[in-house]
Structure 1
Amino acid sequence: MRQDDEPSALAWTARRVSRHVRWAREQGLRRLIEEDRLNPVDRVAGAWSKSRWRWRHGVPRGSAVPVYLVGLQRSGTNMLVRGLEAAPEFEVRNENDRRVFHRFQLRGDDVLAATIRRSRHAYVLVKPLCESHRVDRLLALPQVAPGRALWMWRDVDDRARSEVTKFGDANLRALRAIADGSIGGRWQGQRLDQDTYQLIHDFDYARMDPHTGAALFWYVRNELFFRLGLDGRDDVLLCSYDALVTDPAGYTRRLCAFLGLPYRPAMSAHVSRRTPVRDPLPIDPRVRQLCDQLTTRLTATPQSTGTPQSTGTPQAAGTRRTVDHG
């Protein structure tokens, strides 16, 4: 639903076109096509594979398991989507799917629930990044099968660098709007507690650089994982971008084990195996300390070492296998 402070349809379209032109110029058209999954050959092949799976193995309507991929933008979620999309058991509803999303936000819980109930796939993958702060409520969505959530996180410096390259000072502007009260109903300002509001108000945004703003926003959003109690839930999995690129096949196998999904090499074939090399940004020392403390908590989240399963069917609620963080 449109908020009062949303730009008009014309302004929104003009902004998106301008961004895509700039991204194509700076990063190359090939990368843009790959990231936005615009290759028609890949799309047709994927649609055929999923249609064939529904014909042979389709589940009764109303029994598809929702899987919510959440976290923060520029954290590697597209990489995870591409891997899960390679599994024919998945129906994918990415944030650019206009049937479920409006300007990257869910059209409504009723629309989402109806979409999940209609599916004949074993899983429906939904990526509501702008509503990561509501993932606990989405997991309690009535009239759908019990779901799963994947919270994706990435090193703060790598994510801040990627964010600023892609979106400029967007995170800094959002923090400034929260601090001065002009954020309105926008998602960036929703479900913040008093301590977080106070923290945001304590900084001088006229002097803050975009990378520090992106790092502080990283802290505010990823801290929600603990503040919402997601670290203690059996149906939520904390996923590490670094661990995925360090061992694509092994990590994806463990992710499949959590979902009760058979692993296929195609699910990790698109990930180039590499060891992340750190190049710290000159982030404000106070923000750096906050981010370092949260990184320690994220890395130290308790992990299980359960034997991977390949049942091909969703695991029963309450059975947790946590993906290693490296």
Structure 2
Amino acid sequence: MAHDDEPSALAYTARRVARHVRWARTEGIRRLVEEDRLDPVERIGTALAKRRWRRRHGVPPGTALPVYLVGLQRSGTNMLVRGLDTAPQFEVRNENDAQLFHRFQLRPDDRLVETVHRSRHAYVLVKPLCETHRVDQLLALPGLAPGRALWSWRDVDDRARSEVAKFGDANLSALRAIADGTIGGRWQGQRLDAATTELIRELDPVRMDPYTAAALFWWVRNALFFRLALHERDDVLLCSYDALVADPEGQTRRLCAFLDFPYQPRLCAHITRRAPQRRPLAIDPRVRTLCDELTARLDAAATRPAPRVEKMVRD
């Protein structure tokens, strides 16, 4: 949803171009193409498969199951989207979908309800990362079938490296705006309690380096998982990026069980199995303590069996 403090169209476009140039330089053109799904052959093939499925198996409008993929940027959400998009039962609405998003933020809720309601796919996968703090509200939107949410999280150090490589000091700028009260209606400052805001001020973002800020922002956003009591809900699944790359098949089967969707090897065929490599950054020790404590809580929650949900038929 747009806010009055948004940058102009020209400034926004210039920022995106600069971000893509920096990302291409640091990670390579191939990674950029894969990240943003720019391969036309892959996209056309996926679109045709989905069209065939709608003709043969399309569900009646109003019966699609909304699935919200949330979490913090640079936490492996694109990896999940790429896998689920291979299944024609899924209509995918990524955050660059202009019909549903404006500058990576959801348009008004009635647009979301309308989009899901008219779908003839069994599932509509929506990735509103900037609305992660609203996931409990999205799951309760009137007019939609009871949905599901996937909360993706990643090792704080790896996520901080990836964040700074692609977005520079964006997290640092957001924390400074939260601390000095100029964050306004921007998503980074939404649903923060007084204790979190005061803690950010005490840690003094003005003196932070971008990596410490990225780690602190990781803590701020992922702590919402527990503060919103999502760990107590059966319609939310915590998904660990590190667990997924360590055991693609096992974690994908866990996700499929949660969605009541038959496991297919193609859902994780794009993931290269690898053991997590912990490479701690030199960040503020106070922030490190916060992140270590939250990591332990997330690890414990992510190893629980997938919640048992009401049985659905999703051919």
Amino acid at match of 2:27: Q
CA displacement at 1:308 relative to structure 2: 12
The residue that corresponds to 2:2 in the other structure is 2
Q: C-alpha distance in 2, partners of 1:250/1:157?
A: 24
The residue that corresponds to 2:94 in the other structure is 94
The residue that corresponds to 2:282 in the other structure is 282
Q: C-alpha distance in 2, partners of 1:88/1:312?
A: 15
Verify: 1:58 aligned to 2:58, yes or no: yes
CA displacement at 1:193 relative to structure 2: 0.7
In structure 2, the CA distance between the partners of 1:47 and 1:6, relative to structure 1 (3 Å rule), is same
Q: Number of matched residues?
A: 314
Give yes or no for contact 2:23–2:165 (8 Å, CA) kept in 1: no
Q: C-alpha distance in 1, partners of 2:291/2:264?
A: 35
In structure 2, the CA distance between the partners of 1:310 and 1:262, relative to structure 1 (3 Å rule), is farther
Q: Which runs of 5+ in 1 are unaligned?
A: 315-326
Q: C-alpha distance in 2, partners of 1:310/1:241?
A: 26
CA displacement at 1:3 relative to structure 2: 1.4
Post-superposition CA distance 1:62-114 (Å, at most 9, x none): 00000000000000000000011111110000000000000000011000000
RMSD, matched Cα:
1.8
In structure 2, the CA distance between the partners of 1:113 and 1:305, relative to structure 1 (3 Å rule), is closer
TM-score by length of 2: 0.96
Matches within 5 A, 1:289-308: 289-301=289-301, 303-304=304-305
Post-superposition CA distance 1:25-74 (Å, at most 9, x none): 33222211111001110001000110111111110000000000000000
Post-superposition CA distance 1:202-240 (Å, at most 9, x none): 112222111110000000000000000100000000000
Q: C-alpha distance in 2, partners of 1:309/1:275?
A: 34
Q: C-alpha distance in 1, partners of 2:157/2:12?
A: 29
Q: Which runs of 5+ in 2 are unaligned?
A: none
Verify: 1:122 aligned to 2:116, yes or no: no
Say which is worse superposed, 131-140 or 6-15, in terms of deviation.
6-15
Higher helix share: 2
The residue that corresponds to 1:33 in the other structure is 33
The residue that corresponds to 1:107 in the other structure is 107
In structure 2, the CA distance between the partners of 1:108 and 1:305, relative to structure 1 (3 Å rule), is closer
The residue that corresponds to 1:191 in the other structure is 191
The residue that corresponds to 1:270 in the other structure is 270
The residue that corresponds to 1:241 in the other structure is 241
Post-superposition CA distance 1:259-305 (Å, at most 9, x none): 01111111101000000111100111111111111011111127127
Q: C-alpha distance in 1, partners of 2:270/2:96?
A: 21
In structure 2, the CA distance between the partners of 1:58 and 1:305, relative to structure 1 (3 Å rule), is closer
Q: Give the ranges of 4+ consecutive aligned residues of structure 1 lying more than 6 Å apart after TM superposition.
A: 305-311
SS in structure 1 of the partner of residue 175 of structure 2: helix
SS in structure 1 of the partner of residue 243 of structure 2: helix
